[in-house]
Amino acid sequence: MKIHHVACLEDNYSYLIIDESTKEAAVVDPVEPEKVLKAAQEHGVDIKLVLTTHHHWDHAGGNEKIKLLVPVIKVYGGSIDNVKGCTNKVENGDKISLGADVHILCLHTPCHTKGHISYYVTSKEGEDPAVFTGDTLFIAGCGKFFEGTAEQMHQSLCVTLASLPKPTRVYCGHEYTVKNLQFAQTVEPDNAKIKQKLSWAQQQREAGLPTVPSTIEEEMETNPFIRADLPELQERVGCKTAVEALREIRQRKDNWKG
């Protein structure tokens, strides 16, 4: 399995997921279809599937166009998310195959939108899995609670995604990492891992390189939203429970002027 970033719009990422033995590919959130098809051509692969994380235009807005450009393509999206151009609605636990060796598990991760799906992707033994988290889990952050509650985001982040194997690579929908880590420092000023990662992320961006992927393990060390389960973090933000802490940190982030 190979994964390639396709930078779109101002700070979005689409991704090509390639099954190496068959040269078949899936694309996550192809908001700029021509860019994605050019990347597929460069890698010599055929796009068979679209995996849509959620209905917002900057993720699903290219679906109708890619269907015109690749008429046999299947477009997957959350069953309750009203995804544009969707041909195959998915729910939590649904499985999709790509080529010979790539297996995709659909995880319902609601809050940012009510039908948001993250896609957990595995391949041959010995290869680290990957998860495409759209706007639910960002590197060192999480999406705004547009259509859901802190309880839902806690379930999505701290239960569903946090239970994936630690080496799982995290591919999110936007390049927000530097700002997210700067905010994370305001929550946990003594966290050395946040400081190290921020320094690395700034160097990556200065070199014009992505900060994605992270891993589930790195998120557990540096992401204040997924760390809301930790009693010491709850205490630091003046809360008694993980859900309260998550709500408080999200409100602080929404008001942060960094």
Query: Is position 5 annotated as part of the catalytic site?
Result: no
CA angle 117, 121, 126 (to 5 degrees): 160
Phi/psi at 136 (5° precision):
-85, -60
- For 76, 232, 244, 248, 254, the CA distances from 235, given in Å and listed in that order, are 41, 5, 11, 12, 20
Which residue in 56, 108, 116, 154 is the catalytic one? 56
Which residue in 29, 81, 135, 229 is the catalytic one? 135
Query: Is position 54 annotated as part of the catalytic site?
Result: yes
Query: Is position 58 annotated as part of the catalytic site?
Result: yes
Which residue in 19, 29, 54, 81 is the catalytic one? 54
Query: Is position 174 annotated as part of the catalytic site?
Result: yes
Which is nearest to 45 in space by CA: 126, 99, 119?
99
Extract the tokens encoding 171: 């591919």
Query: Is position 112 annotated as part of the catalytic site?
Result: yes
Extract the tokens encoding 184: 């994370």
Which residue in 19, 58, 81, 229 is the catalytic one? 58
Beta bridge pairs of residue 85: none
The answer to whether the CB of 66 falls within 8 A of the CB of 33 is: yes
Which residue in 59, 108, 116, 154 is the catalytic one? 59
Query: Is position 56 annotated as part of the catalytic site?
Result: yes
Which residue in 29, 81, 108, 112 is the catalytic one? 112
Residues ≥6 apart with Cβ < 8 Å to 75: 49, 50, 52, 63, 66, 67, 83, 85, 86, 87, 88
Please give the positions annotated as active site. 54, 56, 58-59, 112, 135, 174
